[in-house]
Structure 1
Amino acid sequence: MKRSDVLNIGIASLPGIGPKKSQILRTDAGIETVEDLIYYIPRRYVDRSSFKAIKDCFVNEIVTVSGEIIDIKVAGHRKKFLEVSIDDGTDLLKGIFFGGMQYFQKIFSTGDHVLFSGKINFFKYKQIVHPDFDILDYSSGSKGINTGRIVPLYPSTEALKSVGLDSRGFRRIIKNALDIHAHLIRENLSSEIIQRNNLLDLGEALQTIHFPDSFQQAEAARKRLAFNELFFLLFYLSLSKEYIKAHYEGTHYITKRGLSDDFITSLPFPLTGDQLKCIEEIRNDMLSPYPMNRLLQGDVGSGKTVVALAVSLLSVEAQCQVAFMAPTEVLALQHFQTIVKLVPEHVRCALLSGSLGLSEKRTLYEKLENGSIDIVIGTHALIQESVAFKNLRLIIIDEQHRFGVHQRALLRRKGNDAHLLIMTATPIPRSLSMTLFGDLDFSSIRTKPANRIPIKTLAFPESRLPSVYNSLKKYMDQSRQIYYVLPLIEESEKIDLKSAQEVFNLLSQKIFPDKTISLLHGKMKSAEKERIMNSFREGKIDLLVSTTVIEVGIDVPNASVMVIEHAERFGLSQLHQLRGRVGRGDHQSFCVLVYPDDVPAESKKRIDIMTETDDGFIIAEEDLKLRGAGHITGIKQHGHDADFEFTDLINDMEIITHARVEVQREMQNIQDVDKTLNAIKQNSYERILDGIRKKRILEILS
């Protein structure tokens, strides 16, 4: 399983790579060792395996031809170029080289057998300008790496290209690395796993991924490397769970559930079956001697906060504290107001926000430290050094994607083996929950409360905006409130989009001059945003023009219409989150998506999905298909590099499933968790742990 020391030597050990290339490879491609280079995977392939006789080649056709060099000469008047003529027995073709003539004069010789690939032009003769080429040695049976085969294309930058490391250059140095070191690549899966899953050997996969004889071979190599990627990630995450069990002495501090049960019974509405199931799952975690690490996912309006409150009271009854962290002060205040209304009067709740005065903060800190506050709600202010707890045992983080790994870790360290409950209204697609989030246990609320009226979603081109305005006026005349959302426009963007300020001016001065309209955007100070949201919540504002700062968690029951201009600029999950800001009252609510008349088909597809379903779990899966894991809300913020090197999270569910099965088998054979994890920490396992995934695992272990 250990890496070969030889493969970990510096890249400069390879022929043709000096200090300058080494430096640029390190800074621009993250390549420092021979192993890094071998794992530098093609971004795609081109098929240059089909040869064509020169006589059958036509202008503008991309071809590969084979022939013997019969003439080499410098040609041209004002602009000199090298002309390399080849003959395949059917016709002549010239390779034209404008740059690097001295280099090409050195490497080409009359009588050489060469392969040329490129687009056919015609000027007196058929020609290819700057063809990709290989010089063949038939006596040794050599095969080209640039033409006459499935050819890999590699990611590059201008700096890399400046030192000859375009795709051609990468093919050359990777071929050198494999020729010299391929025999040192050590297999890291057992023969049983390889046979059960019909996988290539690791060495064969790494050679084939660079130089396949067919696209089928390239895919077989990718599947082997994807299996590696998934197997080791899932293996390490499973080990981390076992590590926690092995190293926590465990305390059963939860002994009673009366307060929690009474809370559920006293609610003025019945909980759904999913809510009750989630409460029971979380309770079982909290009754165990090990710290909980659970994610509660539920669609917008599914009732996650009530579930969190029910389990919070388990800690309160055990005389332990609960910290509830929200992403914004507006949302923290809203949570505080909701919690105070719902929990029994004797439960001591407090709000820690940046707007508190110095003396108020000092008093609050003292109460947290002496244990006279049971539940504290706050933003990132909770992680400040000045905040200390007497006995913090449950941490609830709402909309977890708004907090970085470091922030969550800081809050958890303030507790005493504290349970962690993460809540998200952005459901995690199944393939992600099985991989990137494999260290978490999942609870899901799929059903919404029975009293929720489904939101109707409508979509209109911009040319229909006048009729949209007419409808909005009717709703405001009925005392209904409206959100009017626009995308945030970066200063660097040269795009013809209306800004929130422009739309605010238009609506307030020309379209609805008799209505109370306000503007809310991210650059406002917290106090100003809070004042505007409070006014909107109190019904003093008819229409609120906003950027996406109102996306998360805002609850205004009287707001029954959400208009989103330039809806094509938002991701599916973000649109769904915005839609969830309405539909919280007793009236029929609407989400109106406005898009340009000439909207691209891909963007229109997102809008169509929004009008077809209001199921956040379906939308999360569709978002993954359309945009990839790196764009799914919260993935990168969770501390992951969502862009796997080899794994396709959309199409590789079978590989993911097989890797999980093998991990489960492997875990049954682990005798010493500490020893295995020490090997991980010492970086003696495969490169699958490199970068951010390794940081993620070590964070779990800390």
Structure 2
Amino acid sequence: MSVQYVKGVGPKRAKKLNRINIETVNDLIYYFPRTYEDRRTIKKIIDCQEGEKATLKVLVCGDSAVNRPRKGLTITKVPVRDDTGFAYLVWFNQEYFAKRLKKGQTIKVNGKVKKNFKGLEIYNPEITTADKFDNRFDRVLPIYPLTEKLTNNEMIKLISNVLKEYIDLVEDVLPEDIIKNFNLWSIKDALLNIHFPTDRESYTKAKERLAFEELLILQLGLLMIKNKYNIEKSGIKFKKVQEINEFLSKLPFELTNAQKRVLKEISKDMESDKTMNRLVQGDVGSGKTIIAILAIFKAVKSGYQAVMMAPTEILARQHYESINEMLSEYDIKCELLVGSITNSKKKEILRKIRNGEIDVIVGTHAVIQNNVEFNRLGLAITDEQHRFGVRQRAALSLKGENPDVLVMTATPIPRTLALILYGDLDISIIDELPPGRKKVETYAINNNMKLRAYNFVKKQVKEGRQGYIVCPLVEESDSMNIQSATELYEKLSKEYFADLKLGLLHGKMKAKEKDEVMNKFKNGDIDILVSTTVIEVGVNVPNANIMVIENAERFGLAQLHQLRGRVGRGNYQSYCILINESKNKVARERMRIMERTNNGFIISEKDLELRGPGEFFGTRQHGLPDLKIANIFADMRILKMAQKVANKILERDPHLQDNKYKKLRNKITNMFDSKIEDISFN
């Protein structure tokens, strides 16, 4: 049922709610608070801490003052006190508070505490008279993610209304025996208390119930995909290819022990009649590509075709060049299939793939289009898995008769977590860098040293190298004082690097424009590339040996590590300079970790420890469904519990055919977007 029919919504407000993906009554019920404020405790002025939000009971002890420092800005200040101290209430562009508050009045206020040379100030506080009941005070207040012209108080009223009217219609999808065995709350109690908890215990119980349900559905879906791969049809049994030893002996380097171990795991999978479905996870520069090439070699020499899918055209081209160079002398025919090739060339390639005249095809998502038909596909590889959804991976594997599937990622995830995130895959980890690879020297500096950093970049470029300058945004944001990529590019072109050739790269550019810029950079026609994080998964430019990351405090550690991996790919000593503009203790500690280690797995563990998952580990990046309440890291205990339950359920009932799992089945189909053919309920 449409959300507009909820009491208090109507057509206009429904449009605002649609902007935050609330379209139905169910969407509103499951639109959870992002945080909570405990407004039950009244603080004293003397106990207030810088930066916290506090609730105070104070006396207005003087007249209000309104200043107009510039056109369009008014600052209203009201002096208040309690029995421990004195403070000012401060509002911006809300001068009506000056008339509303009278000397001698006792009020309750809630706002952000600021301490400066003027003393203590409470910014933009909400207020109410001390003796009057007010819905915003004396309770645990839910704080919702909002959109323009939709306030938190409006959201609280709408959620209250929808729960009163429709909570009894929400179905409990968990079977009674699971609810009883794990002492879980009913769905009704959980939803009421996640929106309006009375204390920490009621919030914890509600969160546990909702997170358990969500993670159980996620795990069941992933395990059912995995089981379908394993059970459905027997896979290809590839030969033991003797020529692989000759291939290895001709390489200009020896594989690391980690690479040898992973190659052994892949060979074992390929030589069995079980369909391989394996993730190869390795830090930046650990040598995943050569492992993929060896798997391709084995597939082709066993009489099959292989396909490799990369997220960008430039990355696909790079893989094609590496693969073609290494395999051409073994009479293995490779071809590149990307959007920019001409129609006549594309038709010819498609014909050759169909006829089996091409052994290896490398491309972007163009390789999963309907018109691509393989003659005898045996191996399907996706690179940088987090850029592809589960569905796209499935579409690639459906191009052949149960081909073996290899997935590669440079995202360093702790193993326990990887087992859960990639629940439908077996996992191999390359946890060792090739010998001789130089460590990228990393330095964290503050804004005062920026000019020195730019001079160092200029020095490197004058010596024949190239560099990256990375910043977090494409356009300037009014609410954040962060330099945007476009603005920074303009400034650097005119001021610091006027005598050098600069390029600009950001996510809002068309794919063709991005590829053009990256090709120019790769070919040395650009000295310095000013970019957003689109280069995080990017091209190999061995001549680029320096990177400056602006506003480094805005990035997660794992993301900083991914960005840093763009340099240090050639023979030159490489450098990464992090400009940290935050005085925050956690931000400084994160910068120190980046200076101390180049190990992506250590970094990802520290990232979780210091700031939780952040955006970098958002489930969307891993091609998994969005989670509304569960946090894969914070809820690890619940997740492991859900995983055990999912395994037990599927042991007894692999296709969830028992009537008691009917509602769970529907939820799984909905969570996986109703389109994943991989989940078999037959």
TM-score, normalization: structure 2? 0.75
After superposition, the Cα gap between the structure-2 partners of 1:495 and 1:40, relative to the gap in structure 1 and judged at 3 Å, is: closer
Distance in 1 separating the partners of 2:245 and 2:286: 20
| Displacement after TM superposition at 1:355 (Å) | 4.0
Match of residue 242 from structure 2: 258
Letter in 1 for 2:655: V
Q: Structure 2 counterpart of 1:479, which letter?
A: G
Partner SS for 1:631: coil
User: Are 2:473 and 2:482, in contact at CA under 8 Å, matched by a contact in 1?
Assistant: no
* Residue 52 of structure 2: aligned partner: none
Instruction: Report Cα offsets for 1:20-60 as digits up to 9, x if no partner.
Output: 79978995774756x777655555555576899xxx97548
The offset of 1:652, in angstroms, is 1.8
Distance 2:386 2:393 in 1: 10
Report matched runs for 1:288-307 at 5 Å: 288-307=272-291
- Find the partner of 1:655 among 634, 638, 644: 638
Code of the aligned partner of 1:565: E
The secondary structure found in structure 1 opposite 2:652 is: coil
Q: Distance in 2 between matches of 1:548 and 1:120?
A: 45
Task: From the CA coordinates, give the structure whose radius of gyration is larger.
Answer: 1
Aligned residue in 1 for 2:469? 484
**1:336, distance to aligned residue in structure 2 (A):** 1.7
SS in 2 for 1:190: helix
Distance 2:27 2:223 in 1: 26
Letter aligned with residue 274 of structure 1? A
Contact 1:42 1:153 in 2 (8 A): yes
Asked if structure 2 preserves the Cα contact closer than 8 Å seen for 1:25 and 1:31, the reply is no
Shift of 1:238: 1.9
Q: In 2, Cα distance between the equivalents of 1:47 and 1:546?
A: 41
What is the letter of the counterpart of residue 640 of structure 2? Answer: T
CA distance 1:288–1:687, change in 2 (3 Å):
same
How much does 1:305 deviate? 0.5
Q: Give the conservation status (yes or no) of the 8 Å contact 1:22–1:32.
A: no
More moved, 623-632 vs 557-566:
623-632
Q: Matched residues in 2 for 1:41 and 1:545: separation?
A: 38
3-state secondary structure, aligned to 1:323 = strand
- Give the distance between the partners of 1:656 and 1:295, measured in 2 at CA: 21
Contact 1:302 1:445 in 2 (8 A): yes
**Alignment check: 8 A CA contact 1:321 1:392 kept:** yes
Tell me by how many angstroms 1:449 deviates: 0.9
Amino acid of the residue matched to residue 293 of structure 1?
N
Is 1:188 paired with 2:172?
Answer: no
CA deviation profile, 1:650-697 (whole Å, cap 9, x unmatched): 322222222223333333323x53736x997xx632775374445475
1:689 to 660, 668, 673: 668
2:358 partner amino acid: I
Name the structure 2 match of 1:267.
251
The equivalent of 2:134 in structure 1 is 132
* 1:242 paired residue number: 227
CA–CA distance in structure 1, aligned partners of residues 372 and 362 of structure 2: 13
- Contact 1:242–1:673 under 8 Å retained in 2: no
More displaced 10-residue stretch of structure 1: 256-265 or 341-350: 256-265
1:143 maps to what in 2? none
Cα distance change on mapping 1:426 and 1:251 into 2, 3 Å: closer
CA distance in 1, matches of 2:155, 2:527: 58
CA positional deviation for 1:175: 4.7
Q: For the structure 1 residues 330 and 455, does the alpha-carbon distance in structure 2 shift closer, same or farther, using more than 3 Å as the test?
A: same
SS at match of 2:577: strand
Q: Residue 601 of structure 2 aligns to which amino acid in structure 1?
A: F
The residue number in structure 2 matching 1:170 is: 159
Q: 1:202 to 1:510 in 2, by over 3 A?
A: closer
SS at match of 1:593: strand
- RMSD, aligned CA: 4.5
CA–CA distance in 1 between the matches of 2:106 and 2:270? 77
User: Is 2:443–2:578's contact at 8 Å kept on the other side of the alignment?
Assistant: yes
- The change in CA–CA distance for 1:498 and 1:58 in structure 2 (over 3 A counts) is closer
Distance in 2 (alpha carbons) for counterparts of 1:690 and 1:532: 41
SS at match of 1:483: strand
Query: Cα 1:551–1:637, aligned 2, differ >3 Å: closer, same or farther?
Result: closer
Change in CA separation of 1:536 and 1:238 when aligned onto 2, cut-off 3 Å = closer
* Paired residues of 1:150 and 1:215 also in contact (CA < 8 A): no
Indicate yes or no: 2:267 matched with 1:283: yes
Query: Is the deviation greater in 445-454 or in 628-637?
Result: 628-637
Q: In the alignment, residue 572 of structure 1 is paired with which amino acid? A: L
CA distance in 1, matches of 2:278, 2:657: 26
The Cα shift of 1:488 comes to: 4.4
Deviations 1:235-273 (A, max 9, x none): 33223322333322x243412332434333332212122
Contact 1:431–1:649 (CA<8 Å) still a contact in 2?
A: no
C-alpha contact (below 8 Å) 1:401/1:634 kept by paired residues? no
Once structures 1 and 2 are overlaid, which stretch shifts more, 402-411 or 149-158?
149-158
Please say if 1:315 is aligned against 2:299. yes
2:620 counterpart residue number = 636
**Equivalent residue runs for 1:361-510 within 5 Å:** 361-404=346-389, 407-429=392-414, 432-490=417-475
Once the two structures are superposed, what CA deviation does each residue of 1:586-605 show, in whole Å capped at 9, x if it has no partner?
Answer: 33211112244x66666555
1:665 corresponds to: 648
Distance 1:454 1:685, change over 3 A: same
Residues 467 and 316 (structure 1), Cα distance of their counterparts in 2 relative to 1, 3 Å cut:
same
Task: Give the Cα–Cα distance (whole angstroms) in 2 for the partners of residues 147 and 643 of structure 1.
Answer: 30
CA contact (8 A) 1:299 1:446 kept: yes
**In 2: Cα distance, 1:594 partner to 1:530 partner:** 28
TM-score scaled by length of structure 1: 0.73
Aligned residue number for residue 72 of structure 1: none
Instruction: Tell me, in whole angstroms, the C-alpha distance in 2 between the residues paired with 1:460 and 1:617.
Output: 24
Q: Is the 8 A contact 1:59 1:120 kept in 2?
A: no
Offset at residue 540 of structure 1 (A)? 6.2
Per mean C-alpha deviation after superposition, the further-off stretch among 39-48 and 363-372 is 39-48
Q: Give 1:296 shift.
A: 1.7
Residue-pair matches, total: 610
Q: Secondary structure at the match of 1:347?
A: coil
Shift of 1:501: 6.2
State the shift of 1:467 in Å.
2.2
Separation (CA, whole Å) in 2 of partners of 1:491 and 1:393: 48
Q: CA deviation at 1:455?
A: 1.1
2:551 aligns with 566
CA distance in 2, matches of 1:181, 1:330: 51
Offset from partner CA, 1:410-438 (integer Å, 9 cap, x none): 43332222222221111235565344432
Aligned to 1:618: 602
**Which amino acid in the other structure matches residue 295 of structure 2?**
V
Task: Answer yes or no: is the 8 Å Cα contact 2:390–2:624 preserved in 1.
Answer: no
Note if contact 2:174-2:664 (Cα within 8 Å) is conserved in structure 1: no
Q: Residues 299 and 445 of structure 1 are in contact (CA less than 8 Å); yes or no, is this contact kept in structure 2?
A: yes
Contact 2:446 2:580 in 1 (8 A): yes
Verify the 8 A CA contact 2:521 2:529 in the aligned structure 1.
yes
Q: SS of 2:294's equivalent?
A: helix
For 2:632, the aligned partner's letter is L
- Listed one character per residue, the Cα deviations across residues 608-651 of structure 1 (whole Å, up to 9, x for unaligned) are 44223322223334445667657226731444344432x23232
Post-superposition shift, 1:408? 4.0
- 8 Å Cα contact 2:220-2:668 kept in structure 1: no
Relative to 1, partners in 2 of residues 1:36 and 1:25: Cα closer, same or farther, differing over 3 Å? farther
Q: What is the deviation of 1:396?
A: 1.2
Tell me if the contact between 1:24 and 1:160 (Cα under 8 Å) persists in the aligned partners.
no
